[in-house]
Structure 1
């Protein structure tokens, strides 16, 4: 039970990080710049914590020659997932940008569990696990997508109808991209979990993942000329202090995943964290935390959460 609670808590932190980074983006003027700062803050935080707790930042040099190459790319996969969502939003809208990656996450996590890919803990796929995964997807649809569709239809029915009539062939490549980015997110979870196991340190594995992600983002920012002139100091000082903590929340999210994967398996961790993520998103909307727009929780969203909890129970105990 404590492991389940930990998974819910780290999932709960993800929408808070999103709200914080959204505010940071409005200050810095670029999604990539805000992500770069977030990864940089997370890297500094993990470096400090690792030094305090382990008194060392090094790992055995033999790992570079004895371990598979893919063990080091978790951070880069995280950046691809983040960038993919930025690209997908204007192409698919908010509903499918949520649904397609989650579908990819669940499918890939079940495959990883069934075949034991990336040295993950193996869990045979059963009908109960399949039904559990479908319940989780149904819960996500009820909690997020159905609500957004209703609001969109109510606020702009003509626009919604026009979008529904849009050719599916045009949207299909973007839907596939969303599915793939979700799969890459599940791969990141499994890969980082194995990295933490082989170097015997969840902290160092999280630090490596964040450092790789930071370097990847830095290259993207430089190549695409997203770097802007720095804001005046007074403009930054006038901002709330919490706009800088997104990277810390993100680093704790990655650290928690690395710790949980060897114990629970990739599939169950992905699903538990997803439940926490949706619950956190609803609370952020309900109370308007960190400058988010208030949107009261509806009964159908609570029903969606119950569906997701039921799915977790089936995946875990059957």
Structure 2
């Protein structure tokens, strides 16, 4: 499982780079939502190829589909909203502010999700150190956004 941590760090780097790449695509195509469609198609193709190459892709049966909670189907819509924000907002505020705000909001939301065990997460108490970490992230993003 040690390999997960370097891979997660690479995902973090990709998360910082992706908004600029998506915005450049949108600029080059002349409209942000055409860029969003291109991003979505590329995403679907990438997931398909990784699934096929890894041998971990199979179509779910009706029982599996029925077992998914209603809100489980909304992740793709959230992903579309994230890409739309990257395409339309990231260039205006800059990479550091955009990513700082999104990551900090994500960490704060994650503390709440973990504490209450919402959307499928196992409960993890929002103890003093987690709350302090969230507060420090808010302070850090304020510093990044002001400069």
Name the TM-score class by shorter chain.
0.7 to 0.9
Q: Of residues 102, 106, 110 in structure 2, which corresponds to 1:273?
A: 102
Aligned-pair CA distance for 1:179:
4.0
Tell me how far 1:297 sits from its aligned partner: 1.0
Larger RCO, structures 1/2 (Cα 8 Å, 6+ apart): 1
Structure 1's unaligned 5+ residue stretches are: 1-89, 98-174
1:267–1:222 distance in 2 versus 1, CA, 3 Å:
same
**Alpha-carbon distance in structure 2 between the residues aligned to 1:225 and 1:264:** 40
Paired residues of 2:96 and 2:145 also in contact (CA < 8 A): no
Of 266, 269, 283, 2:112 maps to 283
Q: 1:249 aligns with which of 78, 87, 92?
A: 78
Q: State the alpha-carbon separation in 2 of the partners of residues 229 and 181 from structure 1.
A: 26
TM-score by length of 2: 0.85
Q: CA deviation at 1:281?
A: 0.5
| 1:294 matched to 2:114 | no
For residues 176-228 of structure 1, what are the alpha-carbon distances to aligned partners after superposition, in whole Å with 9 as ceiling and x for unaligned? x5544432332212111222233343322222111101112212222332223
Deviation sequence 1:46-102 (CA, Å, 0-9, x none): xxxxxxxxxxxxxxxxxxxxxxxxxxxxxxxxxxxxxxxxxxxx1256xxx3xxxxx
Contact preservation (8 Å) 1:197, 1:262: no
For residues 235 and 199 of structure 1, do their structure 2 counterparts lie closer, same or farther at Cα, with a shift above 3 Å needed?
Answer: closer
Pick the aligned partner of 2:53 from 200, 223, 240.
223
The aligned runs of 1:96-115 (5 Å cut-off) are: 97=5
- Equivalent residues, number: 147
Measure the CA separation in 2 of the matches of 1:207 and 1:306: 36
